[in-house]
Chains A and B, each alone.
Chain A
Amino acid sequence: MPGVFLTAIRDGVKQHRLLWLLLGLLGLFPIVTSVADLPFWNDVAMRIMILGMAAMGLNLILGFGGLVSFGHAAFIGLGAYAVGISQFHGIDSGWLHTLIALGLTGVLGLVIGFLSLRTSGLYFIMITLAFAQMLYFFFVSLEGYGGDDGMILDRAEFAPFDLYEPLRLYYLIWVSLALVSLMLMMVIQSRFGLVLQATRSNAGRVEAMGLNPLRFRITGFVLSAMIGGLAGVMFANWQEYASPAIMHWSRSGELLIIIVIGGMGTLAGPLLGAIGFLLLEEFLPEIIGHIAPQYAENWMIIFGPMLVLLVLFVRGGLMGLITSRFRGGG
């Protein structure tokens, strides 16, 4: 039995070579930064991994299930507040925080998913946004926990690791990302994953097979919400701060952008998209600053049309670019 398991993993790794290549590179990245003496870039990489993780979770229902959720940032926020609020009440264990976050996002994902999945298309986009907005305003009004100002927090105690030691947090995030990738890979290859993908292209057929598409969609939604929650736990520890800004609707939009930049419905796409998006955010203002310093803060004027052009001319995002290159090359 374990042998079958391992074969499945090996096949998956082969199939999604780029994903594991990226993960491998991210794993070795701190060596590069320490040799080149660029410790700051570790921080960027951590942010990339966290957002990438959340985007991968969202991609499960968006790319594979065809459900555009415009409220996924809410789950990241819930994860972050699970850390913040437990710490406020004296619970310092990061393992426990993670458990609470997963439970909370799981339950809320189930409720929101159950209600939202009655609708479809544009209505689904908007109802998920509505739930995210409710949660956003809920946390804004939680005065005891800092409200809009948010709450400063300490890095959690992930015994036996001390996250204040250099690189401990980096590898905690990295390991969670790798685990999430592994899990998503298995899920997509499983019978469940295949049915979920089938619901996107032809829900009627799934029904005809005697399966209830709603149940598969809800399960997918809950799973993707929990991954968002895990990303939120990491986010809170990385930022040492939790605030409603984490779950602002524009971040849900950011996640969508990341997925589309990277390539919808591919495993590595969201991670690639996160790399692309955050590097652009980092470098575009600087590049413009060199060409026309007075317009450096107007970098969005380049970024906006880039998005439009990407959508117009590049099918399948960065993944599309890369795979078509591979095929074209031979």
Chain B
Amino acid sequence: MLFLIAAGLTLVLGIMDFVFLAHGSQVMIGAYAATALTAWTGNFYLGVALAIPLTFVFGLLLETLIIRHLYHRDHMEQVLASFGLILFFNELVRIGFGPAALFSNLPPMLSGAVTIFPDAPYPVFRLVVIGVGLLAAVMIWLLVTRTRLGALVRAGASNRTMAAALGVNIALLQRFVFAIGACLAGIAGMMLGPITTVESGMGEPLLILSLVVIIIGGVGSVQGAFIAAIMVGLVDTTGRVLLPHLLRSVMDQATADGAGPALASMLVYIFMSVVLVVRPRGLFPPKG
């Protein structure tokens, strides 16, 4: 999940050298599109199938209308413009779908739990999410390393002017990459919808976390994002579950109860700071 968002974002951030923070909005739009289309068609699979191209088109539109004017601006202005977009899309969704959260239901096939390990049933849909994440990882990897398009993207990233001089249509390429990013975020939103709630601003808590993932992985590195997503997930989860116990063994209950959760919330950020202090450009900075 986190990887899906992070992968999309790292494409935009790293390859296009563009600081885009409205990724959370794309997550939200994906979730709303899937939920609305599921309600409309009455079929979850059909809804998702229709929503994916929709998010792609949405990415294309956004790029054409606004984003492409911002490539040559500095980071600050990009941050601000995308912040403005976040506000806009949040309100748009609130006006369009009402302020209350939507509930997206799962088809019965996906809503049960399976028992993989004895005594520990695991929700089926979570497995689907993991599967989709892995699939996306493989596909991006194939796309970037094995196809002509991927070669162009890499060429564009390492030396934009040179690639343009060689006759590559950078503008079109960037539009395409941005739309792929939007699409990945949208898919993440569709996966997220049935687990959590579909509501205005739902993408923002994930946004910071996915930025953390990208930073740790190294901006622009898809494999870095993949490994970092797993690491952040592990750090966060073990921190939440194990840290209070660990602290309780070294201090008294009351202090541990206070310090544990606080430390657990900080853990991801501490982790990132440590990584950055040791390796200022992330764990896997892209070469060149």
Within 8 A of A (CB), among B71-89: 73, 75-77, 79-81, 83-89
Interface centre among A118, A134, A138, A305 (most CB of B within 10 A): A134
Q: Which residues of B contact A300 (CB under 8 A)?
A: 87-88, 90-91
Report if A118-B276 is in contact (Cβ < 8 Å); known contacts: A300-B88, A303-B87.
yes
A-B contact pairs, 19 of them (CB 8 A): A68-B75, A68-B76, A119-B280, A123-B280, A130-B272, A131-B273, A141-B259, A141-B261, A141-B262, A253-B83, A300-B87, A301-B92, A304-B87, A304-B89, A307-B83, A308-B81, A310-B80, A311-B73, A312-B70
- List the interface of chain A (C-beta within 8 A of B): 62, 68, 115, 118-123, 125-127, 129-131, 133-134, 137-138, 140-141, 143, 249, 253, 256-257, 260, 264, 295, 298, 300-301, 303-308, 310-312
Interface centre among B75, B261, B280 (most CB of A within 10 A): B280
What secondary structure prevails in chain B residues at the interface with A?
helix
Report if A121-B266 is in contact (Cβ < 8 Å); known contacts: A141-B259, A312-B81.
no
Contact-size category for B: 35 or more
Smallest beta-carbon distance B189→chain A, Å: 19
Give 8 A-B pairs besides A140-B262, A298-B94, A308-B81 with Cβ atoms closer than 8 angstroms: A118-B277, A119-B281, A121-B75, A130-B276, A249-B208, A304-B85, A305-B84, A311-B70
Is B234 an interface residue, CB under 8 A from the partner? no
Is B19 an interface residue, CB under 8 A from the partner? yes
Q: How far is the CA of A298 from the CA of B280 in the complex (A)?
A: 41
Within 8 A of A (CB), among B1-34: 13, 19
Could you tell me if B276 and A260 are in contact, using CB atoms closer than 8 angstroms? no
Could you tell me if A307 and B75 are in contact, using CB atoms closer than 8 angstroms? no
Smallest beta-carbon distance B62→chain A, Å: 11
Q: How far is the CA of A148 from the CA of B18 in the complex (A)?
A: 35
Could you tell me if B259 and A311 are in contact, using CB atoms closer than 8 angstroms? no
Report if A115-B87 is in contact (Cβ < 8 Å); known contacts: A122-B75, A123-B281, A307-B80.
no
Is B265 an interface residue, CB under 8 A from the partner? yes
The one of A133, A253, A312 in contact with B69, judged by C-beta atoms closer than 8 angstroms, is A312
Q: Which residues of B contact A143 (CB under 8 A)?
A: 258
Within 8 A of A (CB), among B254-282: 258-259, 261-262, 265-266, 269-270, 272-273, 276-277, 280-282
Q: Which residues of A contact B192 (CB under 8 A)?
A: none
